[in-house]
Structure 1
Amino acid sequence: MASYVSIKGWIECSDDDIKIIQENINNFWNNCPFNIEEKESAKIYKSGWIFPTNSFNWSSYIFFGACVKSYFIIYFEKCIKTIMELDIEISGFFELDYYEDSYKVNWKINNGNLIQTTN
């Protein structure tokens, strides 16, 4: 039986960077070397990203929320890191809740670093 992890969080960026982040996420998930079963799951998981359609003031927030198979965490982390490699300024926070193991991991994106803490 597969174990699952609940991931929820956000990336803060400028309005101008939403499109490049969205393209980066789509490219990452479309080009990852998954097997056939994983490709179907990846399509579903990719839909967990929510992008703002209207901008206001000076910051925008891109949200993610989904329960994923635990082995997809490595891909999700790689996706976040590809966003961090873009020449844009972002910050963010994600909480990973491991159901079976009853613990949580927090990822904080700040100044180009992904900082991980465990609860």
Structure 2
Amino acid sequence: MGALVRIRGWLECDDQQFAQVEEIVQSDDADRTYSGGWAFPSRQYNFVNWVFFGVEMRAQSVDWFLDRLRRVARIPASDEDNDLITGLFFVSHEVDGMSEWQVRDGAVAIRAASQEYQFLDE
């Protein structure tokens, strides 16, 4: 059966970036991937758009998700503020433990998660 990995997190972006994130997600076949774990709120508030993800997946699919997240992180700034997409994901592998994936500066930085977040895996 293989190990399971729980991934949950969010992205912050502007209107144009939000549309590009949707395009990337919709390019996957929802019946063959975990792309159904993405949530795009129909109503956004104020100046930031939010995109959420939450899924428990087989470990062999984590690379698929990481590839999509890296594509999203590379979406360029689209306004005069020059803001890139930012986000935070907690990735809990049932064997390897928890890591923190930070979406910032056009990339995904992966590091061990702080002990403060271990309650999420209890």
Question: Where on the TM-score scale, by shorter chain, does this alignment land: which range?
Answer: 0.7 to 0.9
In the superposition, the TM-score normalised over structure 2's length comes to: 0.79
Partner deviation per Cα, 1:42-88 (whole Å, 9 max, x = no partner): 1xx11110002112210111000000000100000000111122223
Unmatched 5+ stretches in structure 2:
78-83, 114-122
Is the contact made by 1:97 and 1:104 (CA closer than 8 Å) also made in structure 2?
A: yes
Determine helix, strand or coil for the equivalent of 2:43: coil
Give the distance between the partners of 2:19 and 2:106, measured in 1 at CA: 19
Alignment length (residue pairs): 107
Higher share in helix: 1
Aligned position for 1:94: 89
Using CA pairs below 8 Å that are at least 6 residues apart, which structure has the higher relative contact order?
1
In the superposition, the TM-score normalised over structure 1's length comes to: 0.81
User: Shift of residue 107 of structure 1?
Assistant: 0.3
Aligned position for 2:58: 69
Partner deviation per Cα, 1:75-110 (whole Å, 9 max, x = no partner): 0000011112222320000111112x1510110011
Unmatched 5+ stretches in structure 1:
31-38
Q: Percent of counterpart pairs with the same letter? A: 22
Is the contact made by 1:25 and 1:83 (CA closer than 8 Å) also made in structure 2?
A: no
Is the contact made by 2:17 and 2:85 (CA closer than 8 Å) also made in structure 1?
A: no
Partner AA of 1:73 in structure 2: V
